[in-house]
Amino acid sequence: MSEIAIIGAGAWGTALSIALGRKATHRVRLWAHEKEVRDSIVAQRTNELYLPGQTIPECVVPTNDYKEALHGAEIVVSVMPSHHCRAVFEELHVHLTPTMMVVTATKGLEGGTMMRMSEVITQVVSAGAGFTPQVGALSGPSFAKEVARGDPTAITIASQHSALAETVQREFSDAQFRIYTNKDVVGVELGGALKNIIAIAAGVCDGLGLGHNSIAALITRGLAEITRLVVACGGHAETMAGLAGLGDLVLTCTGGLSRNRSVGVELGRGRKLPEVIATMHGMVAEGVFTTHTAMELATLRKVEMPITAQMDAILNRGKSPQEAIHELMTRSAKSETG
């Protein structure tokens, strides 16, 4: 039996528990912050708060206790909003051991430090537990609801530790859930975080009633600026042509289940950000948190990111979507490949 701990019982963490629970050789413990989530799973075998209507296998044991969740775990999957990652690992690191493989499935950057989640986890565990953990990043085009119901899905696990990547690929893959391996942790994590910004922009276009031409241009030029920052940070351009780059970007910019795109749609319709966030009932659109941090990182790396800059202005400085689009379209002439 493989022992797997999932830390975070939002929609994505719950979907992963369902996918992993399909294998008879797995024992999965799912840590939930909210007692009501744990009680819902125990009583109904569903997470009615974050992923209603999706049955959770009996081999998935919900808990609100870190020690119970991590006891005997071989693989620890971190699935929480990026702004909670540091605090959570500062509490749970005492239950980690050097043999545990840690996988981050969070698509975001830490505000202030501009760190990727694998960097946050490594820093906290190294300082608190006294060892450097084996860490990988799981990312790619994967709406939680579709993974939970068994729609064919392909994503990637990136790690500098080949044993970790191969173990996750073997243990997580089945006929509905295909895992590829990658060594480019920087590219995979940044691709997953930055595409959320472009997805909000795509939603804005939709909310304004713009057509397919606008969305196609946005996705293409969005991928170009994401790739520039990835390369500047040490990642590989070819990663951005894969599942954690183009694949996730297209899904999040066009799919109706995208929370980031949905935020953008409402902004395009004229609603204010606090009002939009208030209607999300605790669900997190990571792009809202990531946009300003991405701009700070781009400034530090001297990378031009015009779409991200305009989204930062809309989200954080009250700029109108119409004005932002006008400025993007009237920038000085550029070469597409220069």
* pLDDT class of 337 with cuts at 50, 70, 90: confident
Query: Which candidate in 183, 195, 302, 334 is catalytic?
Result: 195
Distance CA 110, CA 278 (A): 22
Q: Label the pairing between strands 153-158 and 134-139.
A: antiparallel
Interatomic CA distance for residues 311 and 201, integer angstroms: 7
pLDDT at position 10: 96
Residue 12, pLDDT above cutoff 90:
yes
- In three-state secondary structure terms, 156 is strand
pLDDT of residue 222: 98
Q: Which two tokens stand for residue 127?
A: 């300082």
Residue-level pLDDT at 155? 98
For the cut 80, the answer to whether the pLDDT of residue 3 exceeds it is yes
Task: Determine whether 195 is an active site residue.
Answer: yes
Partnered with residue 26 across adjacent β-strands are 2
pLDDT of 48: 96
Three-class DSSP labels, 242-253: CHHHHHHHHHHH
Q: Give pLDDT tens digits for 244-287.
A: 999 999 999 999 999 999 999 999 999 999 999 999 877 889 99
pLDDT band at 1 (very low <50, low <70, confident <90, very high): confident
Mean pLDDT for 61-65 is 98
Instruction: Convert the pLDDT of each residue in 170-228 to its tens digit.
Output: 999 999 999 999 999 999 999 999 999 999 999 999 999 999 999 999 999 999 999 99
3-class DSSP state of 208 = coil
Between CA 307 and CA 318, with CA 313 as vertex, the angle to 5 degrees is: 140
pLDDT of residue 284: 86
Give 81's DSSP letter. Answer: -
Contacting residues for 245 by C-beta, under 8 A, at least 6 apart: 187, 191, 195, 223, 226, 227, 230, 239
Q: Name the E strands within the chain.
A: 2-7, 26-31, 60-63, 75-78, 101-104, 134-139, 153-158, 177-182
- pLDDT tens-digit series, residues 288-309: 999 999 999 999 999 999 999 9
Q: For residue 278, which amino acid is it?
A: A
In sequence order, the 6+-apart residues with CB closer than 8 A to the CB of 107 are 82, 139, 189, 192, 193, 195, 196, 248, 286
Domains of the chain by start residue, with CATH: 2-183 (3.40.50.720), 186-329 (1.10.1040.10)
Render the burial of 147-179: b for 16+ CB within 10 Å, e for the rest: bbeeeebebbbbbeeeebbebbeebbbeeebbb
pTM of the model: 0.96
Helix, coil or strand: residue 178: strand
Structural contact between residues 99 and 129, judged by C-beta atoms closer than 8 angstroms: no
- Measured CA to CA, the distance from residue 158 to residue 168 in angstroms comes to 10
CB atoms within 10 A of CB 261: 27
Joined tokens for residue 28: 């999965």
The band of 168, judged by pLDDT with boundaries at 50, 70 and 90, is very high
- Paired residues of 158 in beta bridges: 137, 182
According to the model, what pLDDT value does residue 282 have?
78
Percent of the chain with pLDDT over 90: 97
